[in-house]
Amino acid sequence: MTPAPHRAVRTAVVAAIATLGLLATATSASAEDGLTVDGDTTYALSTAGAVRATVTLDLVNVTPNRDAGGGSFYYYFYNGYSLPVPGGATNLRATSRGSSLTVSTKATSDPGTRLARISFPNLMYRQSRRIVLTYDVRGAAHRAKDSTRVGPGYASFVVYGPGDPGSSTLTVRAPSSYDFSSTTDAFSNETAGGRSTYTISDVTDGGPGIWAVVSLRDPKKVAERTVKVGDLTLGLSAFPDDPKWSSFVGATVAKGIPTLEKLTGTPWPGGLKTIREDSSPQVRGYDGWFDPSEDEIVVGERLDDDLVYHELSHAWFYGDRFVERWLSEGLAQVTAERAVRATKGTVQKHPVVTRSQKGAIALQSWQEDADGRGAAVNDYAYPAAYQAMTQLLGRLSDEQFAAVVAAGIHGERAYDPVGVATGSAGRTTTTDWLDLVETRAGVKNAPDVFARWVLTPEQKAKLPARASARRAYAAIDAADGAWLPPEGLRDAMSGWDFTRAATVRSAVTALGPAAVRVQDAARRAGLPVPASVRSGYEGAFETAQFTKAAATLPEAARTLDAVGAARRVARADRDPFTALGAAVLGVDATERGSEHRLAEGNLTRARSLATEVTDRSGWLLAVGIGLPLLALVLLAGLVLGGRAVVRRRRARRVLLDPAGAVVAGEVVPPAGAPTPSPADAADDDADAEPDALSRPGG
């Protein structure tokens, strides 16, 4: 996977190559140019890390002499040839036909480039000369204005191969252990004997000669260290002779990641193992890039906290979460800038662009351009994305900023509840972002900003319909109380399908007041609305579900009123008699059953149980008083009955008729007879036979 480059800010390396076509000119004694140039140039990087350049020039004067009249002639000749060399080039030596030629240099407007002039004897018409120029490429110090770098395990410099179109060859040779990067992909590559050879023979931009910027990097020759931020450990991979870079980046990362977590409203998402110092981004015209395929950030040598935060921000803002390039780049830069301010770093100035300049496009159509084409578009789009996102989010507080950014990271839709993402969440589009910024962050001029910087003509044409649909949506949202409008409407609004949104609105408009009646009934009852009732309304997507909600909502309101009435009966203050009546009639248990059935969404059964409770409420006192009275009556009956039995037992006497026959009752001794003692009575009882009757005097 080709890494997505970020922050296309042209550096001195890239700016230098724009001047090469002007510098590579031949000087002559005449104003007319007539010199052909066949060039073969080689830059060789040794295993010791030294770069040696060899330029072979075959010059031919093809400017014929001209008759000046009167026997006189104009003779055109050339006595020098100029070409650009790196600013730090040393040991310049030119030879021709076994002799040394004079080489002089002078500065140019680019500190990384000097103009070398090779002087030679006059080259007359039809004469030719072969010249061999050699020099060493010496690197400047890290972060010097001269962008040439040559050090242990790395080299980055401008290469130039002079020659007419089709008559120039440029070659770069290096150990095969080195990675190669260039501003052009036209180099071919051959590897043999531990050496790699990169060759190009095409003119790069139609000017004289071939130019490019190359970067060579031995991935094994690095200075490595780690930095810990909480539970996170990141590796830093620097040039061996640049410890200052490692110290700066390590400290910046340590304070930057917690700051970015706060600004994005989300924890560190992972997906990064290494931050590497390399010249490759600058070769491509960028300050750095975040490469999720390799879990690494690649940046140059600059000690730029804004750049580090920008690339770290891409752990949150990248293509798997934000569809369009302008979104990820614009969000990364405005977030990085806030992080710089929060950590009291150095805020960078950004180029100011206009919609009428060269390369200006609708940011919605900005695509990845990893092969270096479309530089004018990138030079416009990066600062344009920053300007647009600043106009959208620049006035938000950090808390507001974090809330809307987190929604975008999570893939939320503006019309859904905060924190809820759809099943396809994770990729926020341009239209999603407009809805989020306007709805969640309250940025009222968001449509104007999008119309100016972002939207295509087809998308801009939808803005009036969108504005009308949003007003109608707001009316429905207000009419259904605290609930969200049905999913069918929210889905149509999120997809910018405003024709379907109008159709859905006509089907759900009447549901709003019914939804409010349910919410009011729930408040009166002191009970939550059954989850199935609310989800049945909010989740309704198609006609059948809208119809079902239209029937369910009134039933739910009636049921809530009924259960609320039953609840009041169950929770009313009671005297001992009504409490007894409620217990006997099972009022509390029945009421709890009605609440349980209500929570389940079984409205019919909940209402039936609630009605039983209210119907029984009028019997509580009667039952509470009547039951004790009945108990007393029963108790009194039992007591009186017991006493009668005792009396009957005590009244059993043996009544004798005159003849001495036992009539009834107990045996009574005759008058004047002694009363038996208890012991005697016991003995008598013990000796008595069942049912035996004795007759005195018998």
* Domain residue limits, the chain: 4-217, 223-461, 510-623, 652-698
Amino acid at 341: R
The average pLDDT across 397-403 equals 98
Task: Give the N- to C-terminal CA distance of the chain in Å, as an integer.
Answer: 135
Q: What is the mean pLDDT of residues 310-316?
A: 96
Give φ, ψ of 330 to 5 degrees: -65, -45
Residue 673 pLDDT level (bands cut at 50, 70, 90): very low
**Helices then strands, each counted (H, E), the chain:** 22, 23
What pLDDT score does 28 carry?
37
Question: CA-to-CA distance for 469 and 95, rounded, in angstroms?
Answer: 78
Q: The tokens of 544 are what?
A: 């059948």
Residue 207 confidence (pLDDT): 64
Q: How far is CA 667 from CA 632, 648, 651, 682, in A?
A: 39, 15, 11, 14
How far is the C-alpha of 118 from the C-alpha of 129, rounded, in Å?
12
pLDDT given for residue 425 in this prediction: 57
In which band, very low, low, confident or very high, does the pLDDT at 318 lie, cut at 50, 70 and 90? Answer: confident
* Largest Cα span, the chain: 206
Q: What is the C-alpha separation between 63 and 365, in angstroms, rounded? A: 50
Instruction: Please give the pLDDT value at position 643.
Output: 64
| Among 24, 402, 365, residue whose Cα is nearest residue 209 | 24
Which pLDDT band, with edges at 50, 70 and 90, does 166 fall under? confident
In the prediction, which pLDDT does 613 show? 85
Length of the chain: 698
**Residue 54 CB: number of other CB atoms within 10 A?**
14
Does 3.40.190.10 match the CATH number of domain 223-461? no
Does CATH number 2.20.25 belong to domain 4-217?
A: no
Residue 159: is its pLDDT beyond 70? Answer: yes
Q: Residue 684 above 50 pLDDT?
A: no
CA distance 82 to 164: 14
What are residue 114's DSSP bridge partners? 85, 107
Q: How confident is the model at residue 667 (pLDDT cuts 50, 70, 90)?
A: very low
CA distance 574 to 592: 18
- Torsion, CA 170, CA 45, CA 153, CA 116, rounded to 10: -70
β-strand 179-182 against 149-151: which pairing, if any?
unpaired
Which of 210-214, 516-520, 594-598, 622-626 has the lowest average pLDDT? Answer: 622-626
pLDDT band at 71 (very low <50, low <70, confident <90, very high): confident
CA 491 to chain centroid: 20
Question: Which sign, positive or negative, has the C-alpha torsion 275, 281, 286, 287?
Answer: positive
For 295, list phi and psi in degrees, rounded to 5.
Answer: 55, 45
Q: What does the DSSP 8-state code read for residue 364? A: G
